[in-house]
């Protein structure tokens, strides 16, 4: 059993202090894009498809940034400006019924970058057609490159086609 005392003097036990990295015990670093905004036509209602609405995207990608930092070389990491543009293209692209599907497509984009090992994607739909007061609807998914399933591979072609069709 390991224990550690934080700067407030609080001791924690059963903590693996050998590899804290991303908080997942994998030693990976994180790059976070928070609050990306794009207009999309996602939803099951005809009005959502016709009128569209704003979606807000938060993405955390998990990767080893040490090679890029050591060489000060952008090609050894993920250009987050380009990633942001690709994600916005997906939101603005082909509509889907479920924001769960949209989140999967966005995760596929993140995982298409060689250094990225895991992606966490949150899709916010603050204007969802809900008849009672609410602040936001959020679907959050986490996907690992090592455990990509058949459904994920099937959506990759649609993501690539949406990005290509947007002129990116």
Q: Residue by residue, what is the 3-state secondary structure of 27-42?
A: CCEEEEEEEEEEEECC
Yes or no: say if 92 and 84 are a contact pair by the CB < 8 Å rule: no
pLDDT at residue number 1: 44
102 found inside a domain = yes
What pLDDT, in 10s, does the model give residues 64-86? 999 999 999 999 999 999 999 99
Identify whether 106 is part of a domain.
yes
In a domain, 97, yes or no: yes
Question: Catalytic pick from 42, 86, 118, 125?
Answer: 125
Active site residue 76: no
Average pLDDT for 111-117: 97
In DSSP terms, 121 is beta-bridged to: 59, 141
Query: Based on the structure, what is the number of domains in the chain?
Result: 1
pLDDT for 8 equals: 45
Q: Which pLDDT score is estimated for 149?
A: 55
Segment 82-106, tens digit of pLDDT: 999 999 999 999 999 999 999 999 9
Q: Per-residue pLDDT for 151 more than 80?
A: no
């Amino acid at each position: 059993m390991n224990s550690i005392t934080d700067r407030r003097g609080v001791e924690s036990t059963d903590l693996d202090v050998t590899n804290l990295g991303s908080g997942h015990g994998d030693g990976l670093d994180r790059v976070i894009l928070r609050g990306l905004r794009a207009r999309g036509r996602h939803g099951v209602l005809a009005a959502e498809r016709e009128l569209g609405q704003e979606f807000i995207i938060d993405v955390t990608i998990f990767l080893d940034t040490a090679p890029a930092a050591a060489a000060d070389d952008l090609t050894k990491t993920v250009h987050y400006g380009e990633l942001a543009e690709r994600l916005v293209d997906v939101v603005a692209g082909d509509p889907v019924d479920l924001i769960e599907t949209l989140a999967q497509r966005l995760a596929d984009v993140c995982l298409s970058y060689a250094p990225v090992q895991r992606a966490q994607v949150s899709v916010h739909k603050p204007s969802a057609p809900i008849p009672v007061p609410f602040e936001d609807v959020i679907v959050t998914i986490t996907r690992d490159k090592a455990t990509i399933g058949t459904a994920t591979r099937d959506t990759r072609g649609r993501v690539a086609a949406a990005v290509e069709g947007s002129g990116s």
